[in-house]
């Protein structure tokens, strides 16, 4: 692809912008659903337990892992955006900070995923 055909060059900053938007939209729509399902505690214990029970299935366990991943990426990249905006050091090192975001994300998922999957699939 010749670089002149697009305004965007696909470097780290642009991809993290795409990641920030997609994870943000995903978490927003989950939040709408999550407030509605939690509102069922106001209806009856049975209604809440029945709906929340569907979250405890293998399919939802995977979706929850994806949700936590989206939140973690959005959170760490948000901190990178603030840093790049506030400090010239961070601005000069914004590419390295992209790697810091992914490393922080990997560490958090390593701490969360095994335990969550054990809870969901009956190991713990």
Tell me which residues touch other proteins (CB under 8 A): 1-2, 4-7, 21, 24-25, 27-28, 31-32, 35-36, 38-39, 41-42, 44-46, 48-49, 52, 55-56, 61, 64, 68, 71, 75, 78-79, 81-82, 85, 111-112, 115-116, 118-120, 124
How deeply is 97 buried, as exposed, middle or buried, from its count of CB atoms within 10 A (0-12, 13-18, 19+)? buried
- Residue among 60 and 93 whose Cβ is closer to other proteins: 60
Min separation Cβ 96 and other proteins, Å: 21
- Residue among 95 and 115 whose Cβ is closer to other proteins: 115
């Amino acid at each position: 692809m010749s670089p002149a055909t697009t305004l965007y060059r696909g470097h780290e900053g642009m991809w993290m912008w795409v990641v920030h938007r997609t994870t943000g939209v995903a978490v927003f729509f989950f939040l709408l659903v999550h407030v509605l399902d939690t509102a069922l505690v106001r209806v009856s214990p049975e209604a809440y337990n029945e709906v929340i029970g569907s979250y405890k299935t293998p399919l939802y366990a995977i979706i929850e892992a994806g949700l936590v991943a989206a939140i973690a990426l959005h959170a760490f990249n948000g901190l990178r955006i603030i840093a790049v905006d506030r400090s010239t050091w961070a601005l000069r090192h914004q590419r390295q900070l992209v790697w810091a975001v992914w490393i922080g994300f990997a560490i958090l998922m390593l701490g969360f995923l095994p335990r969550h999957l054990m809870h969901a699939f009956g190991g713990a």
